[in-house]
Structure 1
Amino acid sequence: MVEVVGVLGAKKPESSVGMRHVITLLLFLATTVSYATRVSMSVAIVAMVSENQYGYPVFDWDRGVQDMILSSFFWGYIVLQVPAGMLAGKFGGKYLILATMVTNGIINMVVPFAAMHGGWTAVCACRIVMGLTQGLLYPSLHSFLGHWAPTSERSRMGTFVYAGGQLGTIVEMMTSSLLSASRWGWPSIFYVAGVTCFVWSGLWLVLGASTPGTSKWISKEERKYIETNSCSDEIGAHKNMTIPWKNIWTSMPFWAILLAHCGQSLGFWTLLTEMPSYMAYVLNVNIKNNGLLSALPYVAMYILSFVFGWLSDFLVNRNIIRAVTARRIFNTIALWGPAAALLILSYLPPGHLTLAVVILTVTVGLNGAHYVGFMMSHIDLSPNFASVMMGITNGVAGIFSIMAPLSVSIVVKDQTLASEWRKVFFISIAFYFFCNLFYITFVSGDLQPWNEPKHNTDEESGAKNETEKEENVSKF
């Protein structure tokens, strides 16, 4: 049997399942649940404005109001990204994620009441607060991956964690359509999501840990293996760190990640928030089947993301290609692949339901490659400041997420015409193309010199002042 040795000589633990896998599983479930609560409104809102046979309230919300509700999540989402990255870098992400999930659970339980008694403005308020707390999630996840993921396992672990978002989308689109058509009606969509958040929070409180060094359950062997192969410092070492803001903002590889994130965000969220409406108004698919068909592309994305993650690690660990080459290849698949598929979809004649679903499935499925593209580049550049960089890029990308549903309201005048939706697809195609072009040109896979934090503690300052005083006295 071949013995796997880390970068600094630490042997990989013999046990096939370690605490890093437990943490990865819990983070995977966190993204699954959080995405389910995030996208639930995409299907629920169709049911909330449609007649039902069980007497649940029906709201007279026009398309503009519906898009306002769908986009309101991102109004709050972009606010705490950078602060979350800084907090996760200094203190770890355990309690940030716990706060996210508990708050989301409470809000989901409140949404039906808010809709019935406060109208669309109250629903928007709930979605804004939900977005505000979920803004803590992604920077915290990157902090965890920076500390828990050995370099040789980074692509697979990162893919597994973030692929939970696709599973959450799949489950929510399928169950939401079934729940809304059942005797429990559309309110049950939010109640189920809320209870799930509370269950996850209980598990996380017991098993979660920000770093291997703070875990009560990890073995010494596994802790040594992770810490010598992740290129990150313990959380305690970051309490007095100086974030290298100038180095980050003047780094072309960082700007490459930022633009790639923005292009991905606009294209992905345009499809995610508007696909149920496209299915309903252009392809004439009823609400019960809507969620099932809308989920198919995310099933493809979920499955393919694991294929891409395994393939990336295989190619890099076997020294077939460099890590940065893998990032460029898979990011190109993730952005230019969907751009080509959307271009075909734009000129597909009306009435081709099966072919349209196939193309949409390919479009979203190929997008799964971005998990081992720009999403891992933050950690490649700096594991210690990956959470801060993710906070910046995810925050800016969130602005483009807001633009996604709102742009549909501006561009699409008649929702039943495929030619109107073609304009929306063209916008996504342009962003996909140019943002990836910049990424593959300027991205880097090298660990940056500013990864190691510079400390400016009171003790150091005091010692410096004492030395200066002694020097001044000696002059006299």
Structure 2
Amino acid sequence: MGFECVCGVRHIQILLLVICGMVEYSMLLSMRISIFLLNWETVSNYTLFDDPFRQAVRHYTTEQKMILINGWFVLAFAGALISGYLTVLVNLKYLLLGIIASITVLTYVIPVTVVNTNYDMILAVILFTGLVHGMKDPAIIAIIARWTPRTELGRCVSLVFSSPTLANIIVILLFSFLNESPSSWTSIFYLMGNSGILWCVSWYAFGSPNPNKCFYVSSKERAMLSKSIATSETNKKLNISWPAVFKSLPFYGVLISKVLTTWIFRIMLFSFFFQGYMFARGLKYSVKVFGTVILIMALIPAVQFLVGTIGDKVITHKKYPSRYVRKTFNSIALWGECVCCLLIGYTTPVTWDNAMYIMFCHLGCMEYPGCLCSFFDVDRKASGLLFGLVNFVALIPLAYLTNYSFPVLITADPLKFESNWKGKYEPIWLSGAFACFIANFFYIILATDETNPMVPMEENPQIDVKK
């Protein structure tokens, strides 16, 4: 008997993927924020007193701490390529289960490694964690492709990729609690590791790679998904023409857009960067800055879901081809962010910078129903593979540029920090504006050829947009 309730089984799968992203990103943030906060001297912090983890980390140099904070970016590009290839070869349920289980084990291993081994060993663990982390997104994209009709892609993709923001909220609040508790810093790793185990059990019990292999989906929903999702049969070999893909102009439009927007969202939108920028402006670490960051994080998932829903409604009415809808959302997001970057780089009031940064973050929500949904416009079985290939290229710059762009290890002397970093922020904001403009320009120009793979296969090329 199928599962019958108000929500469909496909929505349960999406919920599991959202929780997956939250748990996985929370585990990654454990080491990152631990080192960041351990750099601060807090008189009332009982957690740090005689804590072995703290004592070990404080012996690292500033350069070593910076490398550990950003180390999980270094090999993520290789993980994306590996996972993309595996999405067409193995069972997606067990692929994602293996990825999260591996990160869970590594989360338990990190504090033990810090306390009992040397710096080189903990660096190796962090690098390997980054490799496994890079494998998650292609697997998730492939699962979404098999469960989500085209008229629900915008909201589902937006919701799933809001999980890092939700994870930021959870980890920051959790660290605020641990900061005043008698527990040791290592407890954050065990708490996050336990959440990883719980998710793995839930996914093993209720997760499924596609509707045909799900034991509790109703026959009605299975028939609806089979009819609305254009995908090759799971028992047939994927037949994708690589020469056609690499000759496809829309493919390069998506590739260029992804490379440049990865720089924006992974580097510039990270809350640590904004906090560092506020320090360079001479603003002390305060409730005002901290509250602003929390407010941004709390609202973004709701805005992403709302924007994705609007995009889905427009596509459902079939008045315009979906590629036009995606270009519109993409243009609003990237050109709006371009203007925000320019204003932040050339304005002086701190209040104005805060307002522009908030607008910058929320405009970015419109990119999810934009070019990110282009990966579902081919045979759905190939979506994870293409996403892994594109992410492989997009993540390479982060392996080399991250340490320059993340001045998160704040020194005790604000004047020294300002003298070291203030002059470097304007070029970073300008690079963000340039990246936004170029990314959208190439996506609009190149993603137009209806004979190429990266356009919706369900669409009728002869559709009259005026009707």
TM over 0.5: yes
Structure 2 letter corresponding to 1:386 = S
Structure 1 letter corresponding to 2:330 = N
Of 14, 23, 35, which aligns to 1:45?
A: 35
Aligned-partner Cα distance in 1 for 2:358–2:31:
21
Quickly say closer, same or farther: Cα 1:96–1:314, change in 2 above 3 A.
same
Q: How does 1:463-474 map to 2 (within 5 A)?
A: none
User: Where in structure 1 are there 5+ consecutive unaligned residues?
Assistant: 1-12, 453-476
Preserved CA contact (<8 Å) 1:180 1:189:
no
Quickly say closer, same or farther: Cα 1:333–1:92, change in 2 above 3 A.
farther
* Local SS of the residue matching 1:260: helix
Larger Rg: 1
Aligned residues: 435
Preserved CA contact (<8 Å) 2:323 2:455:
no
Preserved CA contact (<8 Å) 2:244 2:453:
no
Quickly say closer, same or farther: Cα 1:89–1:348, change in 2 above 3 A.
same
Structure 2 letter corresponding to 1:23 = Q
Aligned-partner Cα distance in 2 for 1:43–1:414:
22
Displacement of 1:27: 0.7
Preserved CA contact (<8 Å) 1:177 1:290:
no
Is 1:315 equivalent to 2:314 in the alignment? yes
Preserved CA contact (<8 Å) 1:101 1:201:
yes
Is 1:361 equivalent to 2:358 in the alignment? yes
Aligned-partner Cα distance in 2 for 1:177–1:356:
26
1:165-192 deviation line (CA, Å, top 9, x unaligned):
2212232233334434543354333222
1:317-347 deviation line (CA, Å, top 9, x unaligned):
1234321111112222332222221221112
Aligned residue for 1:468? Answer: none
Structure 1 letter corresponding to 2:438 = F
Q: How does 1:193-272 map to 2 (within 5 A)?
A: 193-237=192-236, 240-271=237-268, 272=270
1:366-390 deviation line (CA, Å, top 9, x unaligned):
1122211121101113322111110
Displacement of 1:226: 0.3
Preserved CA contact (<8 Å) 1:144 1:211:
yes
Aligned-partner Cα distance in 2 for 1:438–1:135:
25
User: Where in structure 2 are there 5+ consecutive unaligned residues?
Assistant: 410-414, 457-467
Aligned residue for 2:445? Answer: 441
Quickly say closer, same or farther: Cα 1:344–1:22, change in 2 above 3 A.
same
Q: How does 1:340-379 map to 2 (within 5 A)?
A: 340-349=339-348, 352=350, 354-379=351-376
Displacement of 1:21: 0.9
Is 1:110 equivalent to 2:100 in the alignment? no
* Local SS of the residue matching 1:425: helix
Preserved CA contact (<8 Å) 2:168 2:297:
yes
Structure 1 letter corresponding to 2:24 = S
Aligned residue for 2:164? Answer: 165
Displacement of 1:298: 2.6
Quickly say closer, same or farther: Cα 1:23–1:283, change in 2 above 3 A.
farther
Aligned residue for 2:145? Answer: 146
Of 431, 435, 438, which aligns to 1:431?
A: 435
Aligned residue for 2:64? Answer: 65
Structure 1 letter corresponding to 2:428 = V
* Local SS of the residue matching 2:78: coil
Quickly say closer, same or farther: Cα 1:49–1:264, change in 2 above 3 A.
same
Q: Percent identity?
A: 21
Quickly say closer, same or farther: Cα 1:124–1:294, change in 2 above 3 A.
farther
